[in-house]
Amino acid sequence: MSVQIIPIHLKHDIQPTDDLIELILSSSKTTFENGDVLVVSQKIISKHEGRVVNIKSIIPSELSIGIASAYDKDPKLVQAILSESERIVRMEHGVIIVQTKHGFVCANAGIDESNVENGYATLLPNDSDKSAQEIRLKILQQTGKKIAVIISDTFGRPFRMGQTDHAIGVSGMDTILHYEGTSDTFGKFLRVTATAIVDELCSAAELVMGKTKKTPTAIIRNFEFKENTGNIRSIIRSDEEDLFK
């Protein structure tokens, strides 16, 4: 049975007062099935949880003013980036790469001014694992179906051009599919192969979600996964294993 990716075009832009689960269920042209994976974009989670900031209301610090001057950026936006960051990884060519308080290494701390009212920006959810878990449990409660939920966001990559979607939150499944101890098709023993399946599922879902289609959710069906209590921290490389710090 082949894997299906089913887009869910929401009826309207999400608001904090909306019932997110009801909006997803009423917007979907298919009902959930056991074993489905629901991929939800970070943007609607942030909007629903009130993680939206009015850039004009931010008071920049001297540090953010200095960085903004050197890198041709809005000091208010720079202040928002610093407030969401654990540390600055690198600043070059007008790009600010940071490690967020969640542990993600990404541009601008994941702060995004697209698909939101002018003058505003969305911040990453405080706890995307918790957001994913709440969605999964509410769908189980309302439909009786056991699914997995992944929260996705778009990140750049250090050694390749272009961006891809990555998981920033997960509930109901493992983040990594480990092949250690198994054999390949030639009988060779695999020692280190581990596939980041949650990232691959996010990228697959993005093919139908897009950035301009107003389709911030998608169901992936007929993908076999191991039901588990995985969390996004399990996919973040530790300091001891990070060769680039």
Q: Decide if pLDDT at 181 tops 60.
A: no
Kindly state whether residue 13 falls inside one of the protein's structural domains: yes
pLDDT value at position 184?
A: 61
Are 130 and 117 within one domain?
no
- Return the number of other C-beta atoms located less than 10 Å from residue 106's C-beta: 23
When divided into structural domains, the chain yields a total of 2
Confidence of residue 124 (pLDDT cuts 50, 70, 90): very high
Supply the DSSP symbol for 232.
Answer: G
pLDDT, mean of residues 168-179: 86
Alpha-carbon distances, residue 22 vs 26, 140, 141, 221 (angstroms): 6, 13, 12, 20
pLDDT at 109: 93
Q: Encode pLDDT of 52-84 as tens digits.
A: 999 999 999 999 999 999 888 899 999 999 999
- Expressed as residue numbers, the domain containing 75 is 53-121
Q: Which of 123, 133, 129 lies closest to 236 in space, CA to CA? A: 129
For residues 166-177, give the mean pLDDT: 92
Cα–Cα distance for residue pair 25/67, rounded to 1 Å: 44
Q: 21 lies in a domain?
A: yes
Confirm whether pTM is higher than 0.75.
Answer: yes
User: What is the distance between the alpha carbons of residues 71 and 66, in angstroms, rounded to a whole number?
Assistant: 9
Tokens representing residue 83 in the block = 């407030």
Tell me, what CATH number does 146's domain have?
A: 3.30.1330.100
47 falls within a domain: no
31 and 10 in a single domain? The answer is: yes
What integer pLDDT is reported at residue 245 of this predicted model?
A: 66
Indicate whether 97 and 137 sit together in one domain: no
Under a CB-based contact definition with an 8 Å cutoff, are residues 135 and 148 in contact? no
Percent of the chain residues past pLDDT 90, beyond the cut = 63
